[in-house]
Amino acid sequence: MKSEETFIGYKGTTLKWMKNQSLKVWDEIEIIKEGTSLKGVILPRSELADPNFISLKLPTGYNIGFDPIKTKKIKKIGHFEAKYRIPKTEISQKPNLPLIPILGCGGTIASRLDYQTGGTIPALSPEELFSSFPEIADLARVETHLLFEIFSENLNFDHYERILKAIDDIIKTRSPQGIVLTHGTDTMAFTASALTFAINNPPIPIVITGSQRSSDRPSSDAFFNLYNSVLYAASPRARKQVVIIMHEESSDTSCTIHTGTRVRKMHSSRRDTFKTIGESPLGRIINGKIQYSRKDKVIESKDSHYHVSTKFERMVGLINHYPGIQSDVIDFYVNAGYKGLVLAGTGLGHFSSNLIPVIRKAVNNGLIVVMTTQCLQGFTGLSVYENGRQLQKAGVIPLSNILPEIAYIKLAYLLGNYRESEKIKELMKMNLKGEIKSRERFCEF
Amino acid sequence: MTGKIHDYKALGFKAGIEIHAQLSTKRKLFCHCPAVLSQDDPQSFVQRKFRPVLGEMGIFDPALLVEFEKGHTIFYEVFDSVCTYELDETPPFKINEDALYASVKLAKMLNCHIVEETSICRKNYLDGSVPCGFQRTALVGYDGYISLKKEQTELEEKKLVISWIYIEEDAARKDNDRSKDKNIFFKLDRLGIPLIEIVTDHNLYSPTEVVSAARTLGMLIKSSGIVRKGLGTLRQDINVSIAKGDRVELKGIQLLDLIPNAIDLEIQRQKGLISIQEELSKRNIQPKDILLQILDATEIFSNSSSKMVQSAFKREQRVFLLPIAGFNGLLGRKLQPNKRFGTELSDRVKAFTNLKGIIHSDEDLMKYNFSEKEIQKLSRYIREEDAYVIVIGKKEEAEKALTCVHERIIAAIQGVHPETRQVDSEGISTFTRDLHGRSRLYPDTDLPPLVIDPKRVKIIQESLPEHFWDRIDKISKKYSITESVAEDLVYKDRADVFEKLMQKKAPLKTVITTLTQTLTAISREGVNIDEITDDHLMEIFRELRSKRVAKEAIPEIIIQLGTDSRRSVKEIVSKFGGGMSEEELNQLIVKILNKSRSLIKERGMDAFSPLMGLVMKDARGKIDGKIVSDTLRKLLKERV
C-alpha cells in the first residue's frame, strides 16, 4: 500500500493520534470507551468531513465516526481491506445484430458509489455498465470506448474535440449502425448542440444519454435510458442526426427523443428533466417502438458530404441580464479580448439602456454580439421598443428564437470555422441545424 | 397459550426482539412533508421498475435478485401530502433534528451510549416499498439495558441488553386493494415517517421472558411521549432459535398475547425440520443425491378430466415434475397446524415466482381430480423411497419454481433454514424471504456524516421523563388503588386521562371500571376502541356529572363512538335522551309487565322474549342490555 493511502482523508491531530497508536486505514479494532466498547474497521475518510472523527464500519454494516480523544483504549484486532471491483463479464455478442459503439464521457450514468467513503465517483467504465445491463446484448453488438471520466460541469471545448475525433474515427474505421454517448446531464444539451453543428451530414444516428440517478441505485434511470438509446441507435428508422434520449416522465414507461439544438435541462433532479423548448419533441420510444411526432428533417447544408470539424473559438461569453447590471461586466469581455458575446436579454431581448454605450464599444472592437431571450420561449423582437431599436443600432444581432446556450455553442463553432465576420453574422441568423424555428405553433408552449 | 409446552432450557431456546415505532414528529425524516397518512384517493400514479445493483464485492445480492426475477411493476400512489423526495426525484434534505434527538431521548431512557458521529446508510429493498430502492437508516445508540421486573411469573430479575437503536424512514404502504398479479401498488404517504428501531440482544431464554421484554420495552416506548399512538404504529419482530435449529425472524406479531403461541409453533416447526434432517441422515441422503432433474409430465394428463389441468392447458401451460430422492413420506410431515413440509415448499414457490403453489406425492391427489391411472403413471417417475413435486405453468416459470423447491430440499438436509416468516392471528407462520445479508448496507452518498451534538445529549439526559414503572407506583399510592389496577391503567395508556378525571372529581369506581374493564370488553366484541380519545372520555364523565346521562349508558356511548368517531358524545347522548338509571329501568319494566298480564298468564317464563323486545324498544342504547335482561328476568319470575 502506498504511504498516502494508509491514512486517506485523515489530517491534523487525528492523523497524529492514529500514527501514535500505529493505526491505519483498514485496521480492524476495538475501541474501549467509558463503560462500553465497539468493534469495527477503520475506513478512509472524506477530505471534506469533520477532521476530528475516525470512520468505523461496524460488523452490522453501519458506519459511524468516533472521537479518538474520548476513547480510553484501542485494541488492534486485525487488518481487513475491502476491494470493490465490478467483474468485466464477456457477453456473447450476436454477430447478426448491428454494431453500436458506446462512448463513455462520464457523468452520473457512469458514476458509482465509493463504498469506502460513501461519495459518488465517476469510475464506472462502459464495460462495467454493460456487465450490469446484459439485456442490451439483445439489441445490438456493443463495444465500449471510455473517453474520459469526469462530471459534465467540468467539460469544455477540448472535450468536444476529443469526442468529435473519436466519433469520426469510429465512423471511418468501424462502420457502426449508430453511436451512443453516455454523458452527464448538467451540460448534455451543450454537447448535443456542439456535435450537431460540428458534424456535417452524419451518416449515422448519434444518441446522447445519461441518468439522473446513479447506476448503483436500484431505482436508477440509467438502464432504461441506455436501453432505449441503443434500441434507437440500432434501428433503421433512426434519423441521422444528433439527439438526446432521456425519460419522458417520472415513470419508467417511455423516453423522449430530443433534437440536439432545441433541448434543455429544466429540473435539477427529476428523471424527466429534459424538455424540447419551443416545439414538440422529435419523438418518443414506448414499449420498444419509435414514434415520431414531427415530419421535418434537420436542414442539410449545401455541402452534403459528411465531415467533422473540431474547431471551436474559446473566447466567447454568455451574459444574462439582471436589474442593476453594471457596464464593467461587458468591459471585462472587451478588455480580455473576447471575440463573441451572447446576450440573454429580458423579454423580447432587452438590456438596460446604461449598457448600450459599452455594448456599442464591444461591437466597434470587433466582437460579434448577439441577442437571445432569457424567457427561453418565444422570439426576440428588437424593433418593438426603443431599447431594442437602440441595441440594434449599436450593432447587436437579434437571433430569433434560438436558446441562449445553443447560441453560445453556435457562435463558438462559427468563430472557430469562419474568418469573415459578415459571414459569421449571416450564418448566426440562419437556421443551420434546427436551432431556429420560423414559426411557433400555439400548442407548443 | 401458556408458553410452557416445550422444555426451553433443554432445547437451547434463544430469542431477541426488534421493535419499530413511528415517532410523533410533525414532518418526515428527510423532507418537509407532513408525517400524516392520507385518506384521499391518489392524485396520480408513477410507474417504476427496479433492478438489482452490484454490491460492494461486485456481485448481485441473491435476495435482491429474487425480487427482480418476479418481474413486478411497481405503481406509486401520489397524494397531496408527498413531494418529489418520496418519488426519488429530489435528493434528501437535512435530517429532521426533532426526530433525531427524540431517538436520542429514547436511547437515553434505555441507558444507551450515543454515537458521536453517525452516517446515514442505505439498506437495499427491491420489493418496491421504497421508491429509491433503499431505506435510509442511521445508528444512534448502542449497548444499553433495562431491567425486567419480576412479573407474574417465576422469572428472576433480569437485565435486558439493548444492542442497537436506529433512526430510519418508514416504508410505503402496500395497497392490497389495487395490487393484482405482477402490478404492485404502494401508497407513498407513510414513506419517510421517522421510525426508531430497537434491537435487543439474544438473551431471552423462554417465551415468558420474551413477553416480559416486549411488554416492558413497548410500555417504555409508549410512555416516552415521542411515539405515535394507534394501530400499526408499533411493530415487533422476534428472532427465535433453538440449539439444533437456526435463526428465524417472526414478523407481524401485533399482540403480546400471541407471542408465546407463535414461539411455541416456531419451536414445533424447527423440531419437525430437525426430525426430518435426522430421518434423512438415517436414510443416508446427501445433497448430491438430490438432482435438479425436471421432467415434463404433460402427456400423462392429455385426456385429464381435472378442471385445473384443463384450464392450465388452455393457457398453454404444461405439467413439470421433480423427483426427490429418498424423501418418501417426508413432504407430508406436519410442522405446524395445517402446515406440512410440503407447505414450506409451496410457500417458497409462491414467494419467489408468480405460481400459486405446488402438488406433491405425499398429499391426497384425488382432491385435484386426478384419475387413478394418472396418479399411477406419475408414480412411475420415481422409486418407492422417493417423493415428487409437480408444478403447472409455463416452462420458464415452472423451472424457476422447481429450482426453488430443489434449493429448499437441499437446505432441509442441513436442518433449519434461516429465514423471515410472517405470523398470522393464530400464531402460524408463512415464509416471506431469506434473511438479508449485510452487504445490502452501505453509506448514503447524498448526505454527509452527522455529528450528534454532545451538549444537546446532555440536556436530554438531564430531563428524561419518569419511567412507567415509577408512575405505576406513584398513582397506586396517590389514589389508593391496587398496583394491578394502576399497572392496567398505565399499560393501557389511560393513566393520563385517569389523573385528569380524578382532578375533575369523577367517581373513582366508575372511572376505573370504564378505563380498565368496559373498554377492554367492548374491544373484545370487535369495536375499534383506538378511536376513543381521552377527550371523548372526559366528555362522557362531564355528561355523567351533569346527570344528562346514567352511568349504565357509558358502554353504549363508547360502542357508538367506536363505530363512528366523527359523532360527538353530546350528539350520541342527545339522541337517546340521556340514558337510563336502574331505577328508571325498574319503573319501565313494571309498567310493561302491568300492561302484559294476559301474555304472562298465557306463556309464563316463555313471555320473556316478547317482553324483552318491548322493554328494549325504550331502553336500547340507554342502559346495558345485560342489566335489562337480568332485571326483566327477575321481575318476571316474581309474577309467574
Where does residue B463 rank: exposed (0-12), middle (13-18), buried (19+ CB within 10 A)? exposed
Inside any domain, residue B221:
no
> In this structure, are A251 and A331 located in the same domain?
no
A66–B139: do the CB atoms touch at under 8 Å? no
Q: What is the pLDDT of residue A1?
A: 42
Looking at the structure, tell me whether residues A58 and A129 fall in a common domain.
no
Q: Are residues A347 and A304 in the same domain?
A: no
Written as nine digits, the cell of B523 is 374491544
In terms of domains, do A339 and A296 share one? no
The answer, for B461 touching chain A at a CB cutoff of 8 Å, is no
B567 shares a domain with B503? yes
Is B296 a domain residue?
yes
Count how many pairs of residues, chain A against chain B, have C-beta atoms within 8 Å.
142
A301 — pLDDT class (breaks 50, 70, 90): low
Same domain, B558 and B595: no
A331 noted as active-site residue? no
Residue A187 among the catalytic residues: no
Secondary structure (3-state) at B318: strand
Question: φ and ψ at A4, to 5 degrees?
Answer: -70, -20
Q: Is residue B216 part of a domain?
A: no
Shared domain for A176 and A242, answered yes or no, is yes
Active site (annotated) includes residue A173: no
Cα atoms found within 13 Å of the Cα of residue A402, Cβ hemisphere only: 31
| Alpha-carbon span A257 to A259, nearest angstrom | 7
Note the pLDDT of residue A300.
56
B533 and B605 inside one domain: no
Highest mean pLDDT among A71-85, A145-159, B109-123, B528-542: B109-123
Q: Is the residue at B477 inside a domain?
A: yes
B423 within a domain of the structure (yes/no):
yes
Number of domains in chain A: 3
Contact A35 B142 (CB under 8 A): no
Q: Quick one: pLDDT at residue B3?
A: 46
Say if residue B319's pLDDT is above 50: yes
Q: Which of B109, B119, B49, B38 is nearest to B79 (CA)?
A: B38
Distance of alpha carbon A198 from alpha carbon A202, whole angstroms: 10
The model's confidence at residue A303, banded by pLDDT at 50, 70 and 90, is: confident
- The answer as to whether B231 is a domain residue is no
- pLDDT of residue B155 exceeding 60, the answer is no
**Residue A125 pLDDT more than 80?**
no
Which residues does residue A55 pair with via DSSP β-bridges, in sequence order?
A65
Task: Report the percent of chain B where pLDDT is more than 90.
Answer: 59
Residues from chain B that touch A66, judged by Cβ atoms under 8 A, are 115-117
Question: Could you tell me if residue A90 is inside a domain?
Answer: no
What does the buried/exposed string (b/e) look like for B139-153 if buried means 16 or more CB atoms within 10 Å of the residue's CB?
Answer: bbbbbbbbebeeeee
In a domain, A288, yes or no: yes
- Single out the residue in A308, A343, A367 at which a domain terminates: A308
pLDDT of residue B2: 46
CB contact under 8 A, A118 and B134: no
Judge whether A322 lies within some domain: yes
Q: Please check whether residue A336 lies inside any domain of the structure.
A: yes
Catalytic residue (one of A117, A182, A185, A259):
A185
Q: Are residues B323 and B181 in the same domain?
A: no
Give B209-250 pLDDT, tens digit per residue: 999 999 889 889 988 889 987 766 788 899 999 999 999 999
The phi and psi torsions of A392 (rounded to 5 degrees) equal -65, -40
In a domain, A439, yes or no: no
B134: which chain A residues are within 8 Å (Cβ-Cβ)? 217-218
The boundaries of the domain holding residue A362 are: 316-429
pLDDT tops 70 at residue A167: yes
Residue A2: predicted pLDDT: 47
Give 3-state DSSP helix, strand, coil % of chain B, rounded to 5: 40, 20, 35
User: Model ipTM?
Assistant: 0.90
Instruction: Tell me which of A33-42, A397-406, B623-632 is least confident.
Output: B623-632
Give Cα separations from A105 to A173, A184, A200, A231 (angstroms).
Answer: 20, 7, 21, 19
Whether residues B189 and B312 fall in one domain: no
How far apart, in whole angstroms, are the C-alpha atoms of residue B492 and residue A69? 45
First to last CA, chain B: 46
Confidence of residue A119 (pLDDT cuts 50, 70, 90): low
Q: Residues 266-325, chain A: which have Cβ within 8 Å of B?
A: 269-271
In this structure, what C-alpha cell is assigned to residue A313? 473559438
What CATH number has the domain bearing residue A388?
3.40.50.40
What pLDDT shows up at residue B577?
62
Strands A397-398 vs A368-373: parallel, antiparallel or unpaired:
parallel
Tell me whether residue A380 is in a domain. yes
pLDDT band for position B459 (cuts 50, 70, 90) = very high
Are B32 and B152 found together in one domain?
A: yes
Same domain, B548 and B591: no
Catalytic-labelled residue, pool A14, A24, A57, A265: A265
Which residue's entry shows cell 393457457? B315
Interface mutation vs chain A, best among B74, B445, B458, most A CBs within 10 Å: B445
Check whether residue A60 and residue A150 sit in a common domain: no
Mean pLDDT of the region B406-426: 93
What are the φ and ψ backbone dihedral angles of A373, each rounded to 5 degrees?
-110, 130
d(CA A73, nearest CA chain B) in Å: 16
Residues 356-395 of chain B with CB under 8 A from chain A are none
Q: What is the DSSP letter of B156?
A: P
Contacts of A265 in chain B (CB under 8 A): none
* A409, pLDDT greater than 80: yes
Given a cut of 70, whether residue A4 has pLDDT beyond it is no
Q: Are residues B619 and B533 in the same domain?
A: no
Q: Which residues pair with B139 in a beta bridge?
A: B166
CATH code, domain with A285: 3.40.50.1170
pLDDT at B255: 84
B630 grid coordinates: 337480568
For A353, other C-beta atoms within 10 Å of its C-beta total 11
Give the residue with greater pLDDT, B129 vs B581.
Answer: B129
Number of independent structural domains in chain B: 4
Q: What's the predicted TM-score (pTM) here?
A: 0.83
Q: Which residues of B275-295 are buried (b: 16+ CB within 10 A; e: fewer)?
A: ebbeebeeeebeeebbeeebe
Residue B604 lies in a domain: yes
- In the sheet with A54-57, reading across from the earlier edge strand, the strands are A73-79, A27-33, A36-42, A54-57, A63-66, B117-118, B450-451
B485 and B554 inside one domain? yes
Determine the residue among B18, B30, B56, B82 to mutate to test chain A binding: the one whose Cβ has the most chain A Cβ atoms within 10 Å.
B56
Q: Which residue range is the domain that position B625 belongs to?
A: 582-639
Residues A296 and A322 in one domain: no
In a domain, B7, yes or no: no
Active site residue A169: no
Residues B196 and B85 in one domain: yes
Q: Are residues A121 and A269 in the same domain?
A: yes
Chain A nearest-CA distance from B165, in A, is 12
**Is A406 contained in some domain?**
yes
A75 and A185 in a common domain:
no
Residue contact B439–A61, C-beta within 8 A: yes
The x, y and z cell numbers of residue A363, run together, are 461591437
Same domain, B55 and B179: yes
Residue A27 and residue A122 in one domain: no
Do A325 and A186 share a domain, yes or no? no
Residues B25 and B136 in one domain: yes
Q: Output Rg (C-alpha) for chain B, integer angstroms.
A: 30
H or E stretch including A197?
helix A188-198
pLDDT of res. A395: 96
Backbone angles phi, psi at B285, to 5 degrees: -95, 125
B123 forms beta bridges with B135, B441
Same domain? For A276 and A340 the reply is no
**Structural domain includes residue A46:** yes
